[in-house]
A and B are shown apart, each in its own frame.
Chain A
């Protein structure tokens, strides 16, 4: 449970809010690279942390991310002409480059120097791993590039996409660090009692803080002989999760998947989905599916990346399927994976969940740790300090699942795999 004040603190990310200032210390995914693929192509609206922005790729291929509003009379630059290394407002022809400088002001007399005094807000961008990243904080605090391992493997070995979620960002993150619900929400075969998640539906949750966030294990006891089924997750500040997508028991190549929950405003966010392979073979279409362009069959890219199953149609719930086959009756196929079930249940909590009225239990330990870490980091930033996860220490961390002997703690048994880049030989760019 949080009091109303703390709930507000962790939920709100607009300029000047404590959590907003914290987020402005990290590189943030702004949009997919293909959305601004063409030099001089159509500008794209981007809303991040409550700020309305416009992105464009200039004639030289440089990416700009600038204020939606022209500093002259506040017309939207979305309607602008993207030409000759700058975005030109269609109201009076003022033109801005990717750094926000006004490079032309044809509506003023030639002798005027007003254009040298006017700038538009502009944030630095970086194109990496299929994602345009931006940094919205002050220059002196800019961290090293967001070189998550998945952004560094060759393109054939990774996939990334995004989908709109109509709730506050933290509901997404809290679902992403809650391994327990997999036994329920994602039980897509209620007649199968042999799944590890069904055999052991009340796992023990163990959180290990690190300098970038934490690792946590959900430990499901199977039997003395078989051992414990452990899924080890990574949480990287402020909104990234890595989770095992590792089916090596079945001979598949090792994979890691993850999400980033990025605030659009306080009532909406984008869920970024990614997956990468650490083996020699490229990802297959089946591996990519829900993390890739293939999902746009059911995610409407012309309607703000909103899924065709959403709150307006109760996420397509099928009560007969719920009665006889799956726990929810909400679809889980290659294109949506478990994400639609997650999105449905998280949006159903209300746009900003009222945490004064929740009842957290022992299995919510990772959620509690996340909130504490976010609050602590917001305080650190408020006091002028440097928060966790702004250094490069997360570059090589991964997520792994294993069945371990009951007497081997996962923190020891999986240490090298989780933290030290052991065993795999990633195909790096």
Chain B
């Protein structure tokens, strides 16, 4: 449970809000590189942290991320002409480069120097790991680009996407670091089946649906482990790294960690009532196969809004007969089960009315980190931000291990290169 005040604190991200200022200390994905693949290609609308922005790639290939509204009369630069190293407003022809400088103002007399006095808001933007990353904070606080797994492999080894979700970003993260729901929301079968191991098949998550959770703070955020009882005096461990400010890597199947394909999400606020789910998959040892990594349900979107085709307007396609006889939810795809249940909590979940249990310990740890970051800023202190990109060289773990292996020992396996 959070107080109403704390709930406001972690969910509001507009300019000047504590959480908004905290998030502005990090690089964050703004859009996919392929959305502005070509120099001088059409500009793209980007709304992040409650700011309406326009992204474009100029003639030289440099990326600009500037205010949606032209500083002259506030027309949208979305309709702009992307040409000759700048974006030109179609209302009166004012033109801006990727730094936000006004480089042409043809509607004013030639002798005017007004153009030297007008700038448009512009943020630092970098092409990195298939995304365009934005940094919207103070220049002196800028960290290195995070060396996340999917950015450290060749393009053929990764797959990236983004999708709009109609709820506050914190709900997205909370779903991503909540290992216990997979035994219900995703794998879940009707209770009669779930309670009878003989009928439950071989899904390891289903054998013990009430795992123990342990959290450990790290130099990138934290890692948390959930261990479930498995056969032969062992535990089935799932370890999830939480990388500040909002990235996770989902534990998947067991096997050689260097050869596995990993997936995860980053949750970027669009505004306070919607967020962008950035999804990434990668394999460090080989190119991804066709259709590998996050599946089709992540990609079936309304083209203009980027909402999932299965959304709240159609109750996520719930099939009550399927729910009665086959799956826990009656909603088909895993990613839609997640977005459906997270959106169902309301645009901004009222955390004064929730009741957290022991299996919610990672959720609590994440909120504490956010609140600490906010409070530091309110007190005029710089919050903890991983400055070194190398801190992000981690991955998830899913493995059956002897019960003698301690949590401390298992968490070492999260580092890239560990075996």
Contacts and interface: CB of A to CB of B under 8 A. Distances in A.
B74 interface: yes
Contact of A348 (B71, B75, B93, B118): B75
B79 interface: yes
Interface in A101-129: none
B79 A349 contact: no
A344 B80 CA distance: 12
B325 interface: no
B42 interface: yes
B74 A349 contact: yes
B72 A350 contact: no
Interface in B193-226: none
A330 B80 CA distance: 11
A361 B107 contact: yes
B5 to A, nearest CB: 28
Interface in B63-88: 69, 71-76, 78-79, 81
Given A201-B93, A327-B81, A363 B73 contact: no
A359 interface: yes
A184 to B, nearest CB: 4
Given A202-B107, A345-B79, A361-B108, A185 B90 contact: yes
Nearest to A322: B81
B109 interface: yes
Contacts of B90: 184-185, 327-328, 341, 345
A180 interface: yes
Contacts of A201: 93, 106-107
Contacts of A360: 72-73
B91 interface: yes
B112 interface: yes
Contacts of B108: 202, 361-363
A348 B70 CA distance: 10
Interface residues of B, number: 26
A181 B92 contact: yes
Contacts of B139: none
Interface string A330-370: 10000000000100111011100111011111111000000
Given A183-B107, A184-B91, A202-B106, A361 B81 contact: no
A184 B93 CA distance: 6
Interface in B34-80: 42, 69, 71-76, 78-79
A74 interface: no
B192 interface: no
B418 interface: no
A357 B107 contact: no
Contacts of A312: 304
B405 interface: no
A237 to B, nearest CB: 22
A353 B110 contact: no
A317 interface: yes
Nearest to B68: A348
A350 B106 contact: no
Interface string A199-210: 001101000000
Given A327-B90, A357-B71, A319 B42 contact: yes
Contacts of A327: 81, 90
A413 to B, nearest CB: 23
B79 A330 contact: yes
A234 to B, nearest CB: 22
Given A202-B106, A202-B107, A344-B79, A180 B92 contact: yes
Contacts of B110: 202
Contacts of A359: 71-72, 114, 118
A181 B109 contact: no
A349 B69 contact: yes
Contacts of A180: 92, 107
25 contacts: A184-B90, A184-B92, A184-B93, A184-B106, A184-B107, A201-B107, A202-B106, A204-B109, A314-B304, A319-B42, A327-B81, A327-B90, A329-B79, A345-B76, A345-B79, A345-B90, A349-B74, A349-B76, A353-B73, A354-B74, A357-B71, A358-B71, A359-B72, A359-B118, A360-B73
Interface of A: 174, 180-181, 183-185, 201-202, 204, 312-315, 317, 319, 322-323, 327-330, 341, 344-346, 348-350, 353-355, 357-364
Interface of B: 42, 69, 71-76, 78-79, 81, 89-93, 105-110, 112, 114, 118, 304
